[in-house]
Chain A
Amino acid sequence: MTTQMVGKPIQRVEDKDLLTGKGSFTDDIKLPGTLHVAFVRAPFAHARITGIDLDAARELPGVHLVMAAADLPAPAKGKRILLQVPNPAIVDPITQEPLVSERVAFAGEAVAVVVADSRAIAEDAAEMVMVDYDPLPTVANLAQATAPGADKVHPHLADNVAARIHVGYGDIESAFRDAAHTVSVTLDQHRGTGNPMEGRAVLSAPNALDGGITVWSATQAPHILRRALVDMLEMAETDIRVIAPDVGGGFGPKVQAYPEEFVIPICAQMLGVPVKWIEDRREHLLCTVQERDQTWSVEMALDAEGKLLGVRGRMRHDQGAYLPWGVIAPYISTVTMPGPYVLPAYDLETQVMFTNKVPTAPLRGAGRPQAVFAMERLFDLAADRMGLDRADLRRRNLIPAEAMPYSVGLIFRDGQPLIYDSGDYPRCQQIAEEKSGWADFPARREAALREGRYIGLGIANYVEGTGLGPFEGATTQVLPSGRILIKTGAAGQGQGNRTVYAQVAAEAFNVDISQVDVELGDTGKIPIGVGAFASRLMVNAGSAINVSAGTVVTKMKKIAAAAFEVSEDDLELVDGTVRVTGDQGPSLTFGEMAQMASGMPGYVLPGGQEPGLFATHYFSPPQAAYANGSHAVEVEVDPETGIVRIARYIVVHDCGRMVNPLLVEGQIQGGLAHGIGNAFLEKMRYDDDANPVTTTLADYLLPDADNVPTAEIYHVESPAPHNPLGVKGAGEGGTIPAAAAVVSAVEDALRPFGVQIDEAPILPERICELIDAARQNTQEAS
């Protein structure tokens, strides 16, 4: 009799408001008397501040406050932002100050703030702030950071090493000693950006009644921001309320707390009125964290049959100037490398390097795309050297389904042993091969070449640790109206969380999702929470809703059983009532039961039942849920222009049980677009002095409708064994192997030239350069 809600492609409850202009993003919230902010930002990547003159700006009519670091009130003055993800590998856990006091370490750091009647006046005044800088030597990239005698990003440190990470297992020396084949490669992978269409945004209003403060922020993690604010402002948790309203995309960079998220509440407190700051696109490209700059020098050892013996090497991660989210991303890179393959021995030595650039922190994929790129590039190279088919060599090494659960031999970033919980990796690759026409492709490639067309097919596999703890909580309540209310800290930024949370609750109560209200992302609604990252909310918050809703349902049945003098087993929930099964006796509506349970004089709850039809559960997964998949992509490359066209894109995806396939496919397709950007479009360029030069969307190219194909998506559902819904995260799998698969395909298309691609993104001009270089080599050889 239960209406199935979980597993259905239900349309989203979020959509109507967003489609009619009734969404409520931070800049849409209008509080009377709100003042507006512009920041004065450093024009140098590394410089000492030798003087700052705020007087002219202060005199402009309409300006209410102009403040530099020295003017910050206690206790914020002199403090840096709390690092919430410490790691013993970190040399010095240096984070940003709300406003830079002495030395800027990347271009765009805020050195002063202006609050005025309008943003326009604030920007006028910001231009009148005079700052004297003494430029310092800059470290613009990994090569400069690691060079002997390199200039230092932070003069008080011995060198530019931010952290050292060494992971591995097995006998790596004998793996390489006994190898029949070894291949090695050095790979450069470039940082990209998040670029959600809504930038960051902060509004803060002081509460005159209790001295507290409310902060609206376009954040992925309101509870994490509140914790950072408690630390910075030394206020009680109960005096700070953080609300994430509608948030226009996140993709990782909206997780950590930023300087502006402290400065705005401080200004609001100082002035006693609401204060708002809306990041513009230039600020986003200057100041919002980025990710992916890594250089991998790795080698692979295989036996005569193509079985992996070991992988070893070094990785360097360009961290930028600070560690706002610790070393999470490079750490995840190091433990993602083994992927879906039986890898007997592994050794990777990583150095996380400071540079004078905006910091890096997890961005959709969070270190995994780089590791997958490295492993998959090694496979392609090994297959070519051994004269084997690329898919065949992978197939020989995939972990068989019967080996699940499979212990890799590493510790994941949740502190738990890295144990793949479920999945059928060979089946996923097999589907990708079948659907892409892998076996017949060499003949098609030859035929196309005879027509002068360069087509290629690429493949890449990945495993992704999702659904990380520590926990997420949810309260389920039956209201006196009979409606179901879900409250959780775990807000989305467009993923459709309200819809899937409502589906889970609706199924528990056997009602339509229209009967469920969901309140998200407000620290005033639930005391603790973590946030939206690591593809973790369906596992954590979804399970918390499932368990808390189940607790309430059980309680309702106990109360009804006592009222009807029947067994709980004889009761069912139908149409918003609890009744004797088959409509054979009395019934109570959810609303009546909520009123009874919340205190009705004359009615006594049955023995042992506490008042109220609500329950809160914090779900803590014992370990990550490991999603996986295989991508196959067919491209056509124009060797004259270097332009890559994607002809077909096949995604085989296993995220466990799907709560809403429509939304899962949306996540895959959207993630894929990001990965395609990383494969051949998105490049954040810096000059040799670490000045960013791609600071508009005309210079930094995002994928558009003309270069992202509609993927052909095939689902495999291997239920996750460690959560009650059987779900795994779905937010990042579209991105993770995309650059690896596309580059594999481009290289395949360029086989007639003998081009090897060791970088991502591979831009058109580089494709032309590589072809020219290959031609040159061929001519010299002949």
Chain B
Amino acid sequence: MTTKSISLTVNGKTVEQEVEPRTHLADFLRHGIGLTGTHLGCEHGVCGACTVLVDGQAVRSCLMLAVQADGAEVVTVEGLAPETGGDDGLSPIQAAFREFHGLQCGYCTPGFLTSLTQLLMENPDIGEEDLRKELSGNLCRCTGYAGIVRAALAAAQAYKEAAASGMGGSR
């Protein structure tokens, strides 16, 4: 099969690689460059497990081809914690997930973390009702969502402070 050369930024590093046009972004991230933190739950765009940030927007990487990401800036779960890091090298939402038991098997977790990172950076004042509607695009079979919702509401403050201090880049 023919391949196409793509160049993109993944977690701040430039990546150049030949890919088959039919390879979706999730397979490229997982198998092309070994970032296995992004998980595939359904491969038809429902469960949200494969969500990554493409140019700051939460995107289902199973519904996007790798060639479409040519020139884009991609952030995966491996890139969520800022290099300066909080305690333990976790971003606020990652730390809150641990504190509030927002994960069990951890398979859907990367998708929740990336979705919430965009959501909380854009709307840190979100209330529980709206938060739950926003989260309905990510499925978790283990937790029953209570810990995830608690974690998101608790972490929102940190994103609000980051926004206020102009550190919009802090994830």
- Which A residues fall within an 8 A CB radius of B? 11-12, 14-23, 25, 27-28, 30, 120, 194-198, 246-249, 251, 280-281, 493-496, 662-663, 665-666, 669-674, 696-698, 702-706, 708, 710-711, 734
Shortest beta-carbon distance from A688 to chain B in Å: 26
The answer to whether A18 touches B142 (Cβ under 8 A) is no
User: Known: A249-B104, A670-B143, A696-B46. Is A704-B77 also a contact (CB below 8 A)?
Assistant: no
The answer to whether A281 touches B42 (Cβ under 8 A) is yes
Interface centre among B30, B108, B143, B146 (most CB of A within 10 A): B146
User: Known: A120-B20, A704-B136, A706-B132. Is A11-B107 also a contact (CB below 8 A)?
Assistant: no
Asked if B51 is an interface residue, CB under 8 A from chain A, the answer is: no
Q: Could you say which residues of chain A place their CB within 8 Å of the CB of B138?
A: 704-705
Bound Cα distance A704, B148 (Å): 12
Say which one of B2-10, B86-94, B161-169 lies at the interface with A. Answer: B86-94
Say which one of B32-40, B53-61, B63-71 lies at the interface with A. Answer: B32-40
Among candidates B22, B97, B135, B142, residue contacting A705 with C-beta atoms closer than 8 Å: B135
Q: Which 3 A-B pairs have the closest CB atoms?
A: A21-B37, A494-B105, A18-B106
Q: Return the chain A residue nearest B94 by Cβ.
A: A19
The answer to whether A669 touches B44 (Cβ under 8 A) is no
Interface centre among B38, B80, B141, B143 (most CB of A within 10 A): B141
- Which B residues fall within an 8 A CB radius of A? 20, 22-23, 30, 34-44, 46-47, 49, 76-78, 80-81, 88-90, 94, 97-99, 101, 103-110, 113, 131-133, 135-150
The answer to whether B107 touches A248 (Cβ under 8 A) is yes
The answer to whether B37 touches A196 (Cβ under 8 A) is no
The answer to whether A249 touches B142 (Cβ under 8 A) is yes
Among candidates A14, A194, A665, A674, residue contacting B106 with C-beta atoms closer than 8 Å: A14
21 contacts between A and B (CB under 8 A): A11-B99, A20-B78, A20-B90, A21-B38, A21-B78, A22-B37, A23-B107, A27-B30, A120-B22, A197-B49, A197-B142, A281-B47, A663-B101, A666-B101, A672-B144, A697-B47, A702-B141, A704-B138, A705-B133, A705-B135, A708-B146
The answer to whether B106 touches A697 (Cβ under 8 A) is no
User: Known: A16-B90, A705-B132, A706-B136. Is A11-B98 also a contact (CB below 8 A)?
Assistant: yes
Bound Cα distance A734, B145 (Å): 14
Shortest beta-carbon distance from B152 to chain A in Å: 10
The answer to whether A196 touches B147 (Cβ under 8 A) is no
The answer to whether A12 touches B101 (Cβ under 8 A) is yes
Bound Cα distance A12, B97 (Å): 11
Among candidates B41, B101, B136, B147, residue contacting A281 with C-beta atoms closer than 8 Å: B41
Q: Return the chain A residue nearest B97 by Cβ.
A: A19
Shortest beta-carbon distance from B104 to chain A in Å: 4
Q: Could you say which residues of chain B place their CB within 8 Å of the CB of A496?
A: 104
Q: Could you say which residues of chain A place their CB within 8 Å of the CB of B88?
A: 16
The answer to whether A21 touches B35 (Cβ under 8 A) is yes
User: Known: A20-B77, A21-B36, A697-B139. Is A710-B106 also a contact (CB below 8 A)?
Assistant: no
Q: Could you say which residues of chain A place their CB within 8 Å of the CB of B101?
A: 11-12, 662-663, 665-666
User: Known: A21-B78, A705-B132. Is A27-B106 also a contact (CB below 8 A)?
Assistant: no
Bound Cα distance A697, B34 (Å): 27
User: Known: A19-B98, A19-B113. Is A666-B143 also a contact (CB below 8 A)?
Assistant: yes
Q: Return the chain B residue nearest A674 by Cβ.
A: B141
Shortest beta-carbon distance from B58 to chain A in Å: 15
The answer to whether B39 touches A697 (Cβ under 8 A) is no
Bound Cα distance A28, B49 (Å): 15
Bound Cα distance A194, B141 (Å): 9
Bound Cα distance A454, B131 (Å): 26
Q: Could you say which residues of chain A place their CB within 8 Å of the CB of B99?
A: 11
Q: Could you say which residues of chain B place their CB within 8 Å of the CB of A22?
A: 37, 78
Q: Could you say which residues of chain B place their CB within 8 Å of the CB of A710?
A: 145-146, 149-150
Bound Cα distance A413, B127 (Å): 47
The answer to whether A697 touches B44 (Cβ under 8 A) is yes
Q: Could you say which residues of chain B place their CB within 8 Å of the CB of A251?
A: 141
Q: Could you say which residues of chain A place their CB within 8 Å of the CB of B90?
A: 16, 19-20
Q: Could you say which residues of chain A place their CB within 8 Å of the CB of B106?
A: 14-15, 17-19, 23, 246, 248, 494
Bound Cα distance A176, B42 (Å): 51
Q: Could you say which residues of chain A place their CB within 8 Å of the CB of B107?
A: 23, 25, 196-198, 248-249, 494
The answer to whether A493 touches B105 (Cβ under 8 A) is yes
The answer to whether B105 touches A249 (Cβ under 8 A) is yes
The answer to whether B37 touches A708 (Cβ under 8 A) is no
Shortest beta-carbon distance from B88 to chain A in Å: 7
User: Known: A19-B109, A120-B22, A197-B41. Is A698-B46 also a contact (CB below 8 A)?
Assistant: yes
Q: Could you say which residues of chain A place their CB within 8 Å of the CB of B80?
A: 20
User: Known: A11-B99, A19-B98, A672-B144. Is A197-B43 also a contact (CB below 8 A)?
Assistant: no
Q: Could you say which residues of chain B place their CB within 8 Å of the CB of A670?
A: 104, 141-144
Bound Cα distance A166, B148 (Å): 45
Q: Could you say which residues of chain B place their CB within 8 Å of the CB of A249?
A: 104-105, 107, 141-142
